[in-house]
Amino acid sequence: MAHVLVVDDSNTMREIVAGFLSKNGFEVAVATDGRDGLVQLNKDPGIRLVVSDINMPNMDGLTMAEKIRTELCNKDVRIVMLTTEDNPAMRTRAKAIGINGWIVKPFRGDAVLGPFRKLCGMG
């Protein structure tokens, strides 16, 4: 079972995204902000995909992704931003960091299920 970490400060979004992924065969962990995301990822090396919001208290999603690539030296985990942001400069920064994908909210499960499966190597 592919292991996904959902990082969002909104309880509601965590429930929507994690609920959808769980129903569709993913094992899901959750984190409440970027700082918590790093802790969860460190605890569980089995995580294959991180789906993260950007605007969060304590640590935003882009900073978290940057730390995953640089401080944790984790180049393998796939990172997708799920955000209200559609800012070209942020996308450019995301690409430079090594983020694998970008979804502008609202979340539409049917639109991401296939790509998420591929990113997790589920065929």
Partner 1 sequence: MTETTNLAAKVLLLEHDAKQYQCLMDFCERMGLMAMPRSAPDALATLSQHKDLGGVMLAEDLPLEGMDSLALACSIHKLRPELPIFLRRTSNQPLSEEQEIAIRHPWTTGDLAQLQSCVERSIFSLRYPTELVNGVVELTCSAMRSMFPHATVKAESPYVVHDRIIFGQVSTLIPLESTWCRGYMMLQTEEGALRQGLMQGMGYEGVGGDLNFRELNHLLGETTNLIWGAFKNRYIPPKAFANQQSQVPIVINHEHKYISFGSQDPQLCVRYQLSDPRRPGLPPLTIVQRLIFNLHWSPEEFAVFADASSGSSAATGELELF
Q: Is the Cα torsion angle 76, 11, 22, 28 positive or negative in sign?
A: positive
What CA–CA distances, in Å, run from 13 to 1, 31, 101, 109?
22, 11, 18, 12
Nearest alpha-carbon partner for 50 in 16, 78, 27, 70: 78
38 contacts: CB under 8 Å, gap ≥ 6:
59, 64, 67, 68, 72
Between 40 and 83, name the residue whose CB sits nearer to partner 1. Answer: 83
The minimum distance between CB 41 and partner 1, in angstroms, equals 19
The only residue of 55, 96, 114, 115 in contact with partner 1, by rule CB under 8 A: 55
The minimum distance between CB 34 and partner 1, in angstroms, equals 11
Question: What does the alpha-carbon distance between residue 8 and residue 25 come to, in Å, rounded to a whole number?
Answer: 20
- Binding to partner 1 (CB under 8 A) within 59-118 occurs at 60, 83-89, 104-108
The only residue of 47, 49, 56, 64 in contact with partner 1, by rule CB under 8 A: 56
Between 14 and 48, name the residue whose CB sits nearer to partner 1. Answer: 14
| Residue span 14-33 as binding mask against partner 1, x where in contact by CB under 8 A, dash where not | -xx--x------------xx
On whether the CB atoms of residues 7 and 64 are closer than 8 A, the answer is: yes
Between 66 and 85, name the residue whose CB sits nearer to partner 1. Answer: 85
Q: Give the residues lining the site for partner 1 (CB under 8 A).
A: 9-13, 15-16, 19, 32-33, 54-58, 60, 83-89, 104-108
